[in-house]
Amino acid sequence: MPDTTIPNTTRTFVLVGHGMVGQRFLESLAARGLTPAAGRARIVVLCEEPRPAYDRVQLTSYFAGRSPEELSLVEPEFMAKHGIELYVGDPAESVDRTARTVTARSGAVFPYDTLVLATGSYPFVPPVPGKDSRGCFVYRTIEDLLAIEEYAKGAETGAVVGGGLLGLEAAGALKGLGLRTHVVEFAPRLMPVQVDEGGGAALLRTIEGMGLTVHTGVGTQEVTADADGAVNGMALSDGSSLATDLVVFSAGVRPRDQLARDCGLAVGERGGIVVDEECRTSDPAVFAIGECALASDGRLYGLVAPGYEMAETVAEVLGGGRAGFTGADMSTKLKLLGVDVASFGDAHGSAEGALDVVYADSRSGVYKKLVIGADGTLLGGVLVGDADDYGTLRPMTGSVLPVSPEQLVLPAGAGGPVTLGPSALPDDAVICSCHNVTKGAICEHTTLPEVKKCTRAGTGCGSCVKVIGQLLPQSQDTGLCGCFAYSRSELYEIVRTLGITSFTALLDSHGREEARGGEGCEVCKPTVGSVIASLAPTVGASGYVLDGEQASLQDTNDHFLANLQRNGSYSVVPRIPGGEITPEKLIVIGEVARDFGLYTKITGGQRIDLFGARVDQLPLIWTRLVDAGFESGHAYGKSLRTVKSCVGQTWCRYGVQDSVRMAIDLELRYRGLRSPHKLKSAVSGCARECAEARGKDFGIIATAGGWNLYVGGNGGATPRHADLLAQDLSDAGLVRLIDRFLMFYIRTAERLERTSAWLERIDGGLEHVRDVVVHDSLGLCDELERLMADHVSGYRDEWAETIDDPERLRRFVSFVNAPDAPDPSVKFVPERDQIKPDLELLAGPVLAVRTLEGTPS
């Protein structure tokens, strides 16, 4: 039993509960010198869990490799430094308000002058039959996650009851554990509190496209179990059922107010300990903070930021200051299953006379809504799929926008976008809502670590880090993004040298301190994914881009190994090296196009594209193509596309070299090579240049003495003629120089940098590149050649591997809960004896200004 003798101090504070809000309260006391170490108070903390406070907001990152220790919010020696007594695994059992004592489970009795209740909330489990069966879990603590992880080892299918924030996180965790995953949500849409009907629809489409089965508008009637009491299924309210081996309840939370009820403190009709603006309960000696408190505005706050404000309020009051908590911003921005979701202000447009401006593109899973008052004031908004503007829009809530709201939601080319940027915000705009830090306070500092240390901004949910970075002097940071202080080329060297095989390992070892343990961002994830893929054979990583963690790093097209088209269908592009194809293979392409009703077109890159395939048809189409000897053309990836060629000396009377053979050899050598940007090449059989080789990233033109190699060319919106790197090369000499050039480019180029831009940016330009890859001035050529040899020997066709693996095929369905049902939004009309997208259906993403009744205006 602990020694409860009161030392010779002024007051005794007892804190019941040691979660995120409880720890923030202790830090706030320490910041004000109200600690035993300062001789001002005795502080006792009773913690129910077997570990000190940890970051519950980032709980799911445990499944991405973050350890419980890394989730801890308590700095080493914090308790000892400040003389705080922490008792883990020993929660408060009762409170005697008359005697002012708290009795712990161990039997220890602690007297108090001030009692602070930070007991948080508990998961709500619907009272359905079978809810206590073996295999039923909640998703609230690290111990819950450890139990789920262990039980999932013997499971194949999991179901999550609840489609809110935590429910979708739990679903992502189950999917990451390899389970076929269902989400059951009683409301008609996902995340009903945060997003509206349109946002929920966009989120649903994206999440179903990731392979999760979603059931909305239905409740759980019963959890069924086998003879041994283990979960084997669920009965739903619509009469349907689903088979599942594991159930996670995430249907909301309830305030933990039983301790307060038992000692006679006032509680709300629907729960929660009633507090005033100082967070004081009906007993002046007792305070309540966080999710257990029913604030003076009559609300229960389930976010950490309001809890932090309550903690600061009580600490200030106990220090003799004046403070009050009258409400808090409920805005949220997070990434669920890789999807950005944000809401702020009056997201549902409840204010009288409010109008909403909506942009919706269900094909790409993007939905944006701004709620505008009659006077032009921004009242709130919902962002799904693209929440980049959240950090600027949220602080503008309550003010008149400087531009029309349409310009803020429309994409480029359709009247937008207009980027306001943080510079448009006033100094009193709150940038970090977790810690209530303003733009003015942030701008007093010069670096992100300094901002975090001095203001705590960016250390909560992390959604403000991007905006903070934009407010700071830009010249001081050349890092890839807010997650990495290194450039892409530097990250390449780190991955290559240390043999790093996963994004998580790279982020945790070389990410910015504040980003470690996180999930990365939309900039670094595909960039690092490409780096690891390009080095896969060398560092021992999986060369298949959809294996494990690699799948979550890929851009949209790579997720389905196909190019997404404007009407939601996909194109199929088999590789046709050098443009050479046999009659038999031509017949196969024709039969596939005929049988699946696809639009066919011969491209400028000398291959045949098949357009109009539904996602569920892709494996069927590729099975036939692979059987006929075709392989992926990688039209969807940042990799080699084609090596175009003329017919060369074999057929042309002007040809001086066999350009077709060389084009085929080069395309087969460099196929699948992941790079900072797409790569194109061409081989011309003579100086007449029919293959247009000087408009390519690397182009080859035949001479009487061999081959001339040109590099850094580019067509498109910013055309650039390629420069001559070397001339009159033998076959072997040509291949050797291309190997070196490509690997040097991949090694040193930045994110999404074409060879043309890279050649103009790199110090020394063409002459430096020539010195490195021709004259070996840096002594790198042997290593560059070895890296390319690793790629060539390790190449595997992605589609051939996909169709042979039932697990990988599961992602290729339009709707995971109806795998055989076609996507009704994919429509075509006839044109020139083929098909084209229904342009009337695609008249564009929906843009409407509506009243709350939904009438267009």
The CA distances from residue 816 to 156, 176, 180, 183, 571, in Å, are: 16, 17, 10, 11, 21
b/e per residue 252-283 (b: at least 16 CB within 10 A): bbbbbbebbeebebebbeebbbbbeebbbbeb
Tell me: is residue 690 an annotated ligand-binding position: yes
443 is in an annotated binding site: no
Instruction: Yes or no: say if 691 and 655 are a contact pair by the CB < 8 Å rule.
Output: no
CA distance linking residue 463 with residue 521, whole number of Å: 10
- In which order are the strands placed within the sheet that holds 723-729? 640-645, 679-684, 698-703, 706-711, 723-729
- How many angstroms separate the CA atoms of 704 and 554, rounded? 44
Query: How many angstroms separate the CA atoms of 541 and 791, rounded?
Result: 12
Find out whether 850 and 359 touch, Cβ atoms under 8 Å: no
Burial annotation 49-60 (CB, 10 A radius, 16+ → b, else e) = bebbbbbbbbbb
Q: Pull the structure tokens for residue 588.
A: 């196969």
Phi and psi angles of residue 114, each rounded to the nearest 5 degrees, phi first: -130, 130
- Three-state secondary structure call for residue 465: helix
Q: What backbone phi and psi angles, to 5 degrees, belong to 744?
A: -70, -40
Q: Is 454 annotated as a binding residue?
A: no
Sequence-distant (≥ 6) Cβ neighbours of residue 316 within 8 angstroms: 28, 32, 322, 323
Does residue 278 contact residue 189 with C-beta atoms inside 8 Å? no
Residue 533 near residue 545 (C-beta atoms within 8 A): yes
Nearest CA to 770 among 730, 723, 703?
723
Distance between CA atoms of residues 417 and 388, nearest Å = 12
**Torsion angle defined by CA atoms of residues 104, 107, 111 and 117, in that order, rounded to the nearest 10 degrees:** 10
Question: Which alpha helices (H) appear in 443-582, and where do they start and end?
Answer: 448-455, 465-471, 488-498, 503-510, 524-534, 536-539, 549-553, 556-559
> Is 646 annotated for ligand binding?
yes
**Residue numbering of the annotated binding site:** 646, 652, 686, 690
Annotated binding site for siroheme: 690
Known binding-site residues for [4Fe-4S] cluster equal 646, 652, 686, 690
